[in-house]
Chain A
Amino acid sequence: MHELSIVSSIVDSVTETLAAYPGARVKEVRLRVGALASVIEDSLQFCYEIATRDTPLDGSALVVKVLPVRMHCDKCAEDVEIASLQSFRCPRCGEPLTDMRQGRELEIDSIEIDQVEENV
C-alpha cells in the first residue's frame, strides 16, 4: 500500500504547476498507469480524497487510464499486447518476451482547471 505516497507526489506536482495559474481551481487530474505499475486504482481513489483535502485539488476528480502491457516480439517483428500478466509470451507465436515497450508508466498526463480570466 504505497498509494498514499504516490498520491502525495501527485498533489505536490499539481500544486507546483498551479503556481503559474493563480486562483485556478482543479477539476480533474488525469493519470496514465501501466498495468504493471503495481498501483491499485481503488486505493488511489481512496487516498486521493484524503490527500487532496484542504489543498487546491480538493473536490477534483482523479481519472486513471490503465495502459496494457505491450512487449516487442522479435519473431513477429512488432509490438504485441500480452494476453495475461501470468504469461509473458507472444499471443501469436508463443515466443517468450522480455522487451517491454509499455506497462510500467506512472504519469500525470494532464490536469483540467477552471481559471478566472485575466484583464476582464
Chain B
Amino acid sequence: MTTRIVELRQGILKKNDELARSLRAQFEASGVLVLNLVSSPGTGKTEFLQRTLRELINSGAKAAALVGDLETDNDARRLAASGAPVRQINTHGICHLEAEMIAKHLDGWKLAELDYLFIENVGNLVCPSSYDLGEKIRVALLSVTEGEDKPLKYPTLYNSADVAVITKIDIAQAVGFDRDAALRNIAEIRPGVRIFETSAKTGAGMAEWLAYLAQQRSAK
C-alpha cells in the first residue's frame, strides 16, 4: 500500500463555468444583451422586470425573459402580460439557476432576433452568486422594505453585482427607508457600482434604467 497525493487544481463548478463561457460567446455572437437579476424573495424582481419588458417592447425593442422559481409558473404568466416571450424554469427545490438550465430553455428561440434577454434568478441572496449563467450584467436588487444593511449581511452577492437597483422607492418614506445608509452600504461592498432608484409602480427611475440598458446594448 502506498499513499500518494494527486493534484487536481480543478474548479468544483468547472462544468457550469465552461457551459457559461460558451453561452456568453453565443450571446455575444448573437448581439443579445443578457442580464441576470438576483435578490432575496419579495424584492420585487418580477414587478420590476415586467415594467422593464413592457417599456422595452413599447419602444420597439425585442426582449425576452427566463424566470426561475422552485415551483409554479405564476411569474412567467405575470411577465408574459408584458407581451414578451417568457419561459419559466422550475428548479424543483434547487435554490439557484445553473448554466445548464439556461441552455436547455433557450431551445427554439432565435437569439439573433433579440435585443435583450433577462434572466430572473431564484429569490436567494446566497447561492446564485456562485453560478455564472453567461450573463453580461449581473443586477443585484434591494427593496426599501428589506433593511439598509442587507448589502453588509450578504457581501458575496452584492460584491458580484455589475449594477444595483433599489426597488419600491414609492413607499420609502412610509417604511422609514434610510436612503443615505443604503447607498453607503452598497458602495462599501461594491465601490463605484452604478445604483438605480426605482419604482415599478410609479415608473420613477425607469427612464434612467432604460437609458442604461440601451447604452449597454449599443456598447456591444
Contact = CB atoms under 8 A, between A and B. Distances in A.
Contacts of A108: 8-10, 12
A62 to B, nearest CB: 12
A85 B155 CA distance: 6
B189 interface: yes
B129 A38 contact: yes
Nearest to A39: B130
Interface in A80-120: 85-89, 96-98, 104, 106-117
A55 interface: no
Given A98-B192, A113-B3, A115-B4, A13 B12 contact: yes
Interface string B1-21: 111111111111111000000
Contacts of A9: 12-15
Contacts of A109: 7-9
B12 to A, nearest CB: 5
Contacts of B6: 17, 21, 110-113
B70 interface: no
A96 B187 contact: yes
Interface string A37-59: 11100000000000000000000
A6 B160 CA distance: 19
Interface residues of B, number: 34
A114 B95 CA distance: 36
Given A36-B156, A96-B192, A106 B11 contact: yes
A25 B31 CA distance: 49
Contacts of A114: 1-3
B3 A6 contact: no
A112 B3 CA distance: 7
A65 interface: no
B94 A2 contact: yes
A1 B159 CA distance: 19
Interface of B: 1-15, 94-96, 126-127, 129-130, 152, 155-157, 159-160, 187-192
Interface of A: 1-2, 5-6, 9-10, 13-14, 17, 21, 27, 31, 36-39, 85-89, 96-98, 104, 106-117
17 contacts: A1-B95, A2-B95, A9-B12, A17-B8, A21-B6, A86-B155, A87-B189, A88-B159, A96-B191, A98-B191, A111-B6, A111-B8, A112-B4, A112-B5, A114-B1, A115-B1, A117-B2
Given A13-B8, A112-B5, 19 more contacts: A1-B126, A2-B126, A5-B94, A6-B12, A9-B12, A9-B13, A38-B127, A38-B130, A39-B130, A85-B155, A86-B155, A98-B190, A106-B11, A107-B9, A107-B12, A108-B12, A112-B6, A115-B2, A115-B3
